[in-house]
Amino acid sequence: MHTCAMTSPMTSGAPAAQGFDPGLILMAFAPIFVLTIAWEAWYWSKRDRSIYSWRDTLSNATLALMHQASDAFFLWLMIRTVYTWCYAHGLRAMPETWWSFALLLLLQDFLYYWFHRASHRVRWMWASHVAHHSSEGMNFSTAFRQSLTYPISGMWLFWIPLAFIGFSPDWVILAVGLNLAFQFCVHTRLRRRWPVIEKIVNTPSVHRVHHARNPQYIDRNYAGVLTVWDRMFGTFVPEQEAPQYGITRQVRTHNPLTLTFHEWRDMFADVWRERDLRYLWKPPEWRGPQAVPQGVASQVDPLSPNPTGPSSASGRAEQT
């Protein structure tokens, strides 16, 4: 890590593609996040102590540290190298201006929508993402509940097109981090609905729906920042019924290792037991012909917003 964001006349104030470390910029958010969690915990301690479980919060913090260590290791070992190669052999370098940075944020948010949707509809990716959904709580600390296996499941692959079309690797990494930093703000029960705002931008109400296991809410509201993608592709649902958080067959543990690896274990057990590699890329609820009578197995479009049968928030993804 070297220096923080720099500007130059050619960038017109946009963060320079060279000479700064996006990790330092994003690290600046850490104390803000911690103080916000502390304030929210204090707020709910005076009103509803059930909102914050200290065991759950400690588990979230541990998972966050594991996730950050894994991200840092894979980023410097491999991911940045791949982005740099794609940038060097791609179409052409984008000019370093505010408009190009704004375009990058828009394109990255669009790709985030598809990453997030695939993370619910492709079991290999759900094996990582399930850790984030396994909490029965919903508060700012839930945003920290992430898996160290995201580099293995392939989150970083979704940003390769950004480097290939000419955005520098540092800019790409910064855009991803800013998107995720924004999403910290929507993991809370503090606000009800902002109907006008949520037509365009993700809000706590919109994201509460995404974390709910109510049947009508499952596999909905994949937005990172902009809800226009959900509306465009038919996955938006407003919050109406009170959300019930978690996954439908809950993992009854706060052990970070179990929360991280239980679905990987179950997925590979299914592959081995039935000698069927399709368990790796089919939806989490999919059952092979050896598991159920022929013709009963759900044949679901891996990216269907309205799957038949159990959802990715249910099914075997939660067995432990």
pLDDT at 128: 98
Count of CB atoms situated within 10 Å of the CB of 230: 24
pLDDT at 23: 64
Q: Which of 302, 35, 315, 25 is nearest to 173 (CA)?
A: 25
Interval 174-189: pLDDT, tens:
999 999 999 999 999 9
Interval 198-250: pLDDT, tens:
999 999 999 999 999 999 999 999 999 999 999 999 999 999 999 999 998 78
Higher-confidence residue of 287 and 19: namely 287
Q: Which of 3, 146, 130, 124 is nearest to 68 (CA)?
A: 146
Higher-confidence residue of 7 and 228: namely 228
Q: Which of 318, 297, 294 is nearest to 307 (CA)?
A: 297
Classify residue 286 by burial, with Cβ atoms within 10 Å: 0-12, 13-18, 19+.
buried
pLDDT at 318: 40
pTM greater than 0.85 (yes/no) = yes
Interval 9-18: pLDDT, tens:
344 556 655 5
Count of CB atoms situated within 10 Å of the CB of 34: 14
